Structure 1
Amino acid sequence: TPLLAMPKKSAIKTSLFAAEEREQKLDRKGDLLSTLNQHVNFVALATEIDHIAPRPSDKRGGRPPYPTELMVRVLVLQHLYNLSDEALEYQLLDRLSFQRFCGLRHS
C-alpha cells in the first residue's frame, strides 16, 4: 500500500490574516516610520504646504495630482533613506513599512 505524502510544514503563513500579522510583527520590532507617523502631523503639514504653495486648479484633463500629504510622506522617505526617484518607486512597491507610512497598504 502506498503511503500518502504528508504536506510539509512551512514557516510561511498563508492565512487570511497573514498581512495583519506581518504588520503587528513590524510594530513589535519597532517600525521607525510608525514612530515618525505618531509624532508628525502630516495632515497639518500638507495643509500648510497647500496654503503656501497652492496647486493650480487647471481643468484641462490628464491624471489628477497625487494628494499633497502623500507627496510629503514620499519626500520624507526619499530624504531619510537617500533614495533616487527610481529606487523610491521600487521600495514603495516592495516594502510593507513604506506602504503603510504612505497610506498605500491596500491600494
Structure 2
Amino acid sequence: MERKSNNWKMRKIFKGLLMLFFLIVLPFIIMSLWNAILPEVLNATTINYWQALGLFILSRILFGGFRCGGPGKCEKRGFGKASIKEKFMNMTDEEKAVFKERWKDRCKR
C-alpha cells in the first residue's frame, strides 16, 4: 500500500511539473514561430511572451479544450456519464463486483 501511495504522489508531482514546463516553454515556442513567420508573410506585428501565452490559452479553449483532447472526445473515450452507465448496465454481476472493488480501492487513496 505504501508503494502505491508513493507512486501516485510521484505521478502527481510529475504531471504538475510537466504542466508547468508546458506553460513556460510553449508560449516561447509560439512567440518564436509567430515572430519568425507572420511579420514577413502577413505583415503582422511581433508579440511578447504574455501575448503568446494568451494565444495559447485562447487556442486551447477554442480548438482543443483542456481535457480529453477536444470537444466530444471525452465521451468517445468512455468518460462521459452515459457511456459509463451503458457499460455498467451491460456488465455481468461478477464484472460489476470487480468494478466496484476497483473504485473502492481508488477512493481509499
TM-score between both structures, scaled by the size of structure 1 = 0.25
**Which protein, 1 or 2, shows the higher relative CO under an 8 Å CA cutoff with sep ≥ 6?**
1
Select the structure of larger CA radius of gyration.
2
